[in-house]
Structure 1
Amino acid sequence: MKQNNINKWFVAVAATLTHLGLGTVYAWSFFQKPLTETFGWSNSQTAWTFSIAILMLGLTAAWAGTKIEKFGARKLALTGVLLYAAGYLISYFALQYHSLFLLYLGFGFIGGIGLGLAYVTPVAVVSRYFPEKQGVMTGLVVMGFGLGAFVMSKILAPFFMELFNGDLPKVFLSTGLILLLILPFFAYSLRTSETAEILKVDKPDILKEILKFDYALIWLIFMFNIVAGMIFIAFQSPLLQDLMMRGGTTDLETLAKSGATLIAVSAVFNGIGRFFWGSVSDKLGRIRTLQLILLIEILVFAILMFSKNVLIFSIGVCVVLLCYGGGFGILPSLIRERYGAKLMASVYGVTLTAWGIGGIFGPQIAAFMKDHFAADSALYSYSVALGLIATGLVLSLFLRKKTISE
């Protein structure tokens, strides 16, 4: 029994560290401005790299969630981390030859597919090992993904940027090699519980559930929350630097370091939010916790619309990403609670398509505003986010409480 508990926690740690490596994608904001300035691409063109990666993550996760029993969690996760690392390696050649298409292909499509394969498996595995602690344990795993941006923005990216004197191709190459060396070890440690029942899932069962009105509400609410959070994940550094320049700060190094610091600090909030709100939902209930998250976001975006203060902006970003992460912390336990262990991985995977769609709209909304309404880009972006979150809160009022006894 003691040995079994050790194995359970070892798998939980490996799952969390796998997500930590994958979550480095959330530091895209660190590279957004340097890429546009170095290669002359517009904000929208550059942001499509990140949007494609998140889109492919969502679509691939939907497929992977239905294939865990067939291929095994270890094989899917291992393939995923290798493809994600390959995305960075291909990006080296893309930047070396100034090829936006190759950047989309490498970081976006191939890296995004890797993210999708590797993201859903750690959550599903830990859910099997800890059926009695769904909110806490799945929240712990996805917390790793949220903290990945901290690792990238304050450790990997600054180190390589200084080492290679801002040579972006070499930064991407070195990052890819680090991921290639480390992530496979954690991914290989993932395996489903030997004592868990093999759960065969029929496609008609999945379709029957995801075509219901309640599921559509969950998908839309989750997607709206993604869009709002992605505005900051993709553009928090440029938005902060814009505010600081209006306040009189002109030193480029100071601006870049401030942006990186905000990415790192907000990443901690994003990560903690997944664990914190997942734990809260074990006590308050999934729907009530979700409504509280949306209400807090509405208040924050309303404040940000009327403030140009750097400190208030920074706090607002952290609070929004705390709540954004909370959506990911609640989702696995919400899905398992409503659809049961048998359908958990499949329905959860399908629901992550909302992440993919939100990953397109969030960054592209912010990019469009910056390209076409530079002076008021923040105000317009917050207005869109506020409207979507408010709509999500209204939709949540129609969600019925539902649990499945297992």
Structure 2
Amino acid sequence: MTNQSLTPFPAGRRWTVAVAGTLLQTCLGTVYAWSYFQKPIMEQHGWKNEAVTWVFSLAICFLGLAAAWGGLQLKKGRTEPRAIAITGGLLFALGHLVTAAALWKSQLWLLLLGYGVIGGTGLGLAYVVPVATAARWFPDKKGLVTGMVVMGFGLGALLMSKVLAPLALRWFDGNLAVAFAAMGCVFAVLAPAAGAFMKNPPEHGDAGAEERESEGAKASAGPVTAAATAAAGDEGGWGKFGLLWLLFFCNIFVGISIISFQSPLLQDLLRIRNPDISAAQLASGGATLIACGAIFNGLGRFLWGAVSDRIGQSLAFTLMLGSQIAVFAVLPQVGSPLLFGGLVCYILLCYGGGFGAIPSYVLALFGEKRMALLYGMILTAWSAGGIAGPKFMAWLRDHRPADAAPVAFYCSAALLAGGLVLTFLPALGVQRPR
């Protein structure tokens, strides 16, 4: 089947959807720069690691829950994608405004409500729409385009840590409350504007979806078999979904643990190497790692999404998880800040790669008709990882400060080994490419 027969939509129109979806994801991805604010918030308000980490964990938790609900609404077709995306964008902006009030009044519970619950709910609603919608517009390039869209989420941390946050803090003399209020106003304009372009393709263009489902899914899956796609509706379908959920969770847990503490971990290493280093230099080093990590996180979503189209999603996850085991085994012996930063960036390349490959993996195993629903549901693995990973790291840093990092790295390697085993299960469609 030719690409033309798979793409009966105007090229300009579908790329508008993809670009707008990427812009929306970039706004949402600023949540990954939370560690940039974590230390100054702790210092200004006297809160502990575990307390402040709950803010980020709640945001990711409600992201996954809201994404599952949003995917269900997309599946039912009762609510337009753009309505869900606009609502999510507005809630995300509102979360920043409530965060500003929380920091102004020094109220931790309000911070948890604003950034964690309200902002996280907005994140989930707005996140699921561009991915599911872009996949319908690009039946011929699902892995590539969904990878491009979610790449924006990874690059959002770069935008926040190197542009928005430094400018806002400079303009407002380090006032975190006013900075969050300003960012909330920016997102209140950009996110809903991008969300307004989220529309499904015309009905006549999608009329052949069911006939294309088997062949299109097989093309995007690579080694994932047609039999696996056909089995989506059988009694083993939910068991297969559970295995895929666990695989996704393993990759998320280790990556999000690093994301939530990458800046403090690097600052600790820099302080050991140079006890006289200034606070400004430490902050600059942490911000640089966040920015570099964000670039690799974003690139990973795009690159691994494209690679998974060529070699298959199961093999892509095998490579991602297997290589990370080696990295985590080496990390405890690393004393160079530069090498440490490089290895962290590789972990985030693979972390982002999981998000780039998972949409087409869901599509390949379960078909187009269940894509929006199950893609939203599998993001609950993000919720679980968003709580478990950062809380695990925070507990180690508060209760075992002397060896927190090595213990975390070895535990991550062990979890990845469990995930690696899952990639070889026949239920997840492992075959060697021809």
Q: Shorter-chain TM-score: which interval?
A: over 0.9
Deviations along 1:92-130, one digit per CA (max 9) or x if unpaired, are 110111111001101000101001100000001100000
CA-CA distance at 1:3 after TM superposition: 8.2
- Contact kept in structure 2, 1:32 and 1:235, CA below 8 Å: no
- Pairwise CA RMSD of aligned residues? 2.0
The partner residue of 1:289 within 316, 336, 342 is: 316
- Corresponding residue number in structure 1 for 2:344: 317
CA-CA distance at 1:133 after TM superposition: 0.8
- CA–CA separation in structure 1 for the residues paired with 2:9 and 2:351: 36
- Please tell me whether residue 237 in structure 1 is matched to residue 263 in structure 2: yes
- CA–CA separation in structure 1 for the residues paired with 2:336 and 2:269: 8
- Please tell me whether residue 219 in structure 1 is matched to residue 240 in structure 2: no
- Please tell me whether residue 272 in structure 1 is matched to residue 296 in structure 2: no
* Inter-CA distance 28–304: structure 2 relative to 1 (3 Å threshold): same
CA-CA distance at 1:308 after TM superposition: 2.3
- Please tell me whether residue 51 in structure 1 is matched to residue 57 in structure 2: yes
- Please tell me whether residue 196 in structure 1 is matched to residue 213 in structure 2: no
Number of residue pairs matched?
A: 399
- Corresponding residue number in structure 2 for 1:186: 194
TM-score, normalisation: structure 1: 0.95
- CA–CA separation in structure 2 for the residues paired with 1:187 and 1:335: 23
- CA–CA separation in structure 1 for the residues paired with 2:124 and 2:408: 27
CA-CA distance at 1:375 after TM superposition: 2.1
Structural mapping, 1:57-136, within 5 Å: 57-68=63-74, 69-136=77-144
The partner residue of 1:30 within 12, 31, 36 is: 36
Deviations along 1:331-352, one digit per CA (max 9) or x if unpaired, are 0000001111100010111000
CA-CA distance at 1:163 after TM superposition: 1.5
Deviations along 1:336-391, one digit per CA (max 9) or x if unpaired, are 01111100010111000000000001111111111111121111111221111111
- Corresponding residue number in structure 1 for 2:387: 360
CA-CA distance at 1:215 after TM superposition: 1.6
- Contact kept in structure 2, 1:209 and 1:215, CA below 8 Å: no
Deviations along 1:54-111, one digit per CA (max 9) or x if unpaired, are 0000011111101021111000000000000100000011011111100110100010
- Contact kept in structure 2, 1:287 and 1:399, CA below 8 Å: no
Select between 163-172 and 257-266 the one with higher mean Cα deviation: 163-172
CA-CA distance at 1:2 after TM superposition: 10
- Corresponding residue number in structure 2 for 1:20: 26
- Contact kept in structure 2, 1:54 and 1:356, CA below 8 Å: yes
- CA–CA separation in structure 1 for the residues paired with 2:83 and 2:199: 9
Structural mapping, 1:312-391, within 5 Å: 312-391=339-418
- Corresponding residue number in structure 1 for 2:169: 161
Structure 2 unaligned regions, length at least 5:
1-6, 211-230
CA-CA distance at 1:206 after TM superposition: 8.9
CA-CA distance at 1:309 after TM superposition: 1.7
The partner residue of 1:308 within 325, 331, 335 is: 335
Q: Give 4+ residue runs of structure 1 displaced > 4 Å after superposition.
A: 197-200, 205-211
- Contact kept in structure 2, 1:84 and 1:113, CA below 8 Å: yes
Select between 213-222 and 318-327 the one with higher mean Cα deviation: 213-222
Identity %: 45
Deviations along 1:29-62, one digit per CA (max 9) or x if unpaired, are 1011111111111101000000000000001111
Select between 337-346 and 390-399 the one with higher mean Cα deviation: 390-399
The one-letter code sitting in structure 2 at the alignment partner of 1:157 is: A
Structure 1 unaligned regions, length at least 5:
none
